[in-house]
Amino acid sequence: MAYLPAIEIECPQRGTIGAVIIWLHGLGADGHDFAPIVPQLALPAGLGVRFVFPHAPSIPVTINNGLVMPAWYDIKQHDVDRHVDTEQLRQSADWVHDLIDREMERGVPSESIVVAGFSQGGAVSFEAALTYPHRLAGIMALSTYFATAATVALNPVQQALPLLICHGSEDPVVPESLGRQSVATLQRLGFKPEYVVYPMEHAVCPQQIVDISRWIGRTLTVQGSSECS
């Protein structure tokens, strides 16, 4: 099977891998975008985390005048309702499912796999994780929106899944109102997402990295105490 090309970083570099975080980038970026954050997280080495940063395929993006760029799906209108190509988004979610399947084949239980994403990648993360047929560890959604909220085929096995949703209060790309809307939708579906807002634009800030590290530590089982940096 052909998988999405990806950057992989293991923490620790040598030893047993017991957990995986599949982290999707935003529009126009690639898997290199969030790789530098790994050492900043300073996770306990005992977690044995493998980070997988896949690259989206390059496609024409309507809101950027049809320019071809890395994207998980086409965005047809850049407005509050975010008119997106849901078929392409679901295809990207299926590719994420394939990556999860591969990690399970490599010996990591699904309950130790987190799906994360920034902006477009976060929208795919919601769809991919909530529809996956085996219980996952959690979802980390950064500066994003729930693009398929009205159509997602929620798998009951994911009920009560831990979710961390982060957003910038000054985000000019994905308004913070969309983050709050995602939280409200998930609450109606029975989830209890953690929602944190930072005084930033469409980005990641130092305090957020600290909070992400703490959330990962709470969500995944700690097996040791030394830091991975």
pLDDT tens string 14-57 = 678 999 999 999 999 999 999 999 999 999 878 899 999 999 99
Coil vs helix vs strand at 152: coil
CB 86 within 8 A of CB 100: no
Can you read off the two tokens belonging to residue 104? Answer: 């399970």
Identify the CA nearest to 96 among candidates 34, 54, 145, 140.
54
Structural domains present in the chain: 6-228 (3.40.50.1820)
pLDDT tens string 46-73 = 889 999 999 999 999 999 999 999 999 9
Place of tokens 């010996």: 107
Active site residues: 119, 171, 202
d(C-alpha 72, C-alpha 23), whole Å: 13
Can you read off the two tokens belonging to residue 117? Answer: 């994403």
Res 222 pLDDT > 80: no
pLDDT of residue 47: 86
Q: Residue 150 — left, alpha, or beta (φ > 0 → left; ψ -120 to 50 → alpha)?
A: alpha
Query: Average pLDDT for residues 206-219, to the nearest whole number?
Result: 96
Please name the residues in contact with 14: beta carbons below 8 A apart, sequence gap of 6 or more. none
**DSSP state at residue 214:** H
